[in-house]
Structure 1
């Protein structure tokens, strides 16, 4: 039996709005004045838990579509922003608590990265942060939510699974449906509109650092299920 923890990348392993703002700047080359100010305003509200965008990329794309921008333009702008991921124009940093968590987990726990993003810049960042070797498998352009299901099924065939992410319908809903545990991060995990029910998750917090003890407890319990 092998316990597995599956991490999302953007907003989970890597945090910071640098890539999102880079994406917005490339879109702004088509839209023109006013768009970047609107993105900055809505993004600030989103980070505080106001509104119901999936993440910063959803903010940028939604505001652009409202202004008539076509999907092809958005796809090109997104690809350009990923090409500079981690550089000064699209800076990110490892989530607070991430390095501590990865260093504390038993080496027998299988760690995987599963993201809808391409691998552009990601491998370099993981190397720079000294954590690439922590992950047994790296999955890119997954096509969540449905694309996460085969990854989950494979992991569940080997033992308990915890899926960690900041977009419930992409990162966690497929895991919960298959019987895996879930850790929900970010503003949407903790800040709700009046009368709005929170999605069910095994654990939740605004940031990864807050969840480190809970994830460590989950890992200890998962290891205890191994046959002697």
Structure 2
């Protein structure tokens, strides 16, 4: 029996607003809509204040762009351009404190899998920057969450218990919980869904001990 811990990327292992602001800038450059920069900045400010009902910062930019008449293909082009900047000076990222050591300990008890909707553009470089690359057993890009999540979780469940860790309940956690997997919510919205998940905290390091304990217990089941 092999336990599996599935991690989300943006907002979970990769922290910081660098990629988000790169996305807004690239969409503005592609679309060429007057006043777009100010509109995106205002939307992000509303999101950071807990207003607007946005799923995350990317959703805030996306919805604002659509409201401005930006075509979906321009949004996609802007996103792809921004991912080419990932983990560089124009889209910096940082790991949660102690991430590398945590993953090294966790890997003793579970298979570690990254599942992200991001395309495979500079993901390897980003994982090196985060100190996560040596500890991940598998990386799944362009996962199509939430619709793509159930198949991945179901496959892992055939080998043993599963814990899914992420910052967006509907994308990272609800599909896993529906199949009987454990769930860990992190990030600013974690308190709002704490009653729906196995564990929750505003920052991933606060859950290191609980996640390690879950993995140790799960791997001991035979």
TM-score, structure 1 normalization: 0.90
What residue in structure 1 maps to residue 42 of structure 2?
41
1:6 counterpart SS class: strand
What residue in structure 2 maps to residue 220 of structure 1?
216
> Could you list the runs of 4 or more consecutive aligned residues of structure 1 that deviate by over 4 angstroms after TM superposition?
none
1:204 counterpart = 2:205: no
Aligned mates of 1:106, 1:76 — CA distance in 2:
36
Aligned mates of 1:57, 1:106 — CA distance in 2:
30
Native 8 Å contact 1:13 1:95 kept in 2? yes
What 5-or-longer segments of structure 1 have no aligned partner? none
Query: How many residue pairs end up in the alignment?
Result: 221
Q: CA RMSD in A?
A: 1.8
What residue in structure 1 maps to residue 28 of structure 2?
28
Aligned mates of 1:130, 1:117 — CA distance in 2:
18
Residues 106-127 of structure 1: per-residue CA shift (max 9 Å, x gap)? 5241000111111101101212
Residues 41-96 of structure 1: per-residue CA shift (max 9 Å, x gap)? 33234234344211111111011111111101100000000011111111111123
Native 8 Å contact 2:14 2:130 kept in 1? no
What residue in structure 2 maps to residue 5 of structure 1?
5
What residue in structure 2 maps to residue 154 of structure 1?
155
Aligned pair in 2 of structure 1 residues 47, 219: CA closer, same or farther (>3 Å)? farther
TM-score, structure 2 normalization: 0.92
Native 8 Å contact 1:52 1:188 kept in 2? no
1:112 counterpart SS class: strand
Deviates more, 1:151-160 or 1:210-219: 210-219
1:18 counterpart = 2:14: no
